[in-house]
Structure 1
């Protein structure tokens, strides 16, 4: 049996729709908008961006780019927010580095208030409750074997 993919201490295999050698992406259990996903390093001891090794950092950035292109295409996003809360004092509630990718649209009315919502998002509580958004996972997972499909 293979080891589970962990987001901090939570097994998230069923939510993962993209995986590279050092990074994965998963559907957010408490999305601010449809298509709000997280990109996370596989190594669970990575608390902050600076904790990535050079190889992990390259893979992480390449994975961010791949996933953001996928989210833009699947959700027809006009723009994206990419957000890292780098350490507990920045609002990071789950002690495992993760980047939020949030689709944005010309008329979405969020302006910068989306950052306040992001700060109040308690992912740890969401994973304790643990519910799965099957349709979103299936939609994204089907595209990951070839990110150009859509």
Structure 2
């Protein structure tokens, strides 16, 4: 998909927000929802999405949404770091299919990294065990400040 288009209310993140699809919730407030990626690139791969938005990517988002959204991303990133003690953390966001975007609801990836451990490919790894994701979500959630 290109950078331009119409928001699809049937995308997986919209369904998660409506409670139509399950997720391993890490954090939620009035602005953001954070949950574990079911196709993680690394242990602890977490996603953060705006709750009240129909922006498909960063370029479409209202600046009033971006402030609370990035604060949520920072808050969850700090919790991932505290919970998992990685050597580094990748925070990334894709815009359009050529950039790697596969779900057209604005979202940020928080991916912990450890020295010597290879990073999985975006959207191409195997599906994680839901029980393990729930345990990781709880572990990270315990460190939300």
TM class by shorter-chain length? Answer: 0.7 to 0.9
SS class of match (1:29): coil
CA RMSD of aligned residues (A): 2.8
CA contact (8 A) 1:27 1:133 kept: no
Counting only pairs closer than 5 Å after superposition, residues 1-150 of structure 1 correspond to structure 2 as: 7-10=13-16, 11-108=20-117, 110=118, 114=119, 117-118=121-122, 121=123, 133-141=130-138, 144=141, 147-148=144-145
- Structure 2: distance between partners of 1:80 and 1:51: 26
CA contact (8 A) 1:18 1:26 kept: yes
- TM-score under structure 2 length normalisation: 0.74
> Where does structure 1 lack aligned partners over 5 or more consecutive residues?
1-5
Shift of 1:92: 0.9
SS class of match (2:34): strand
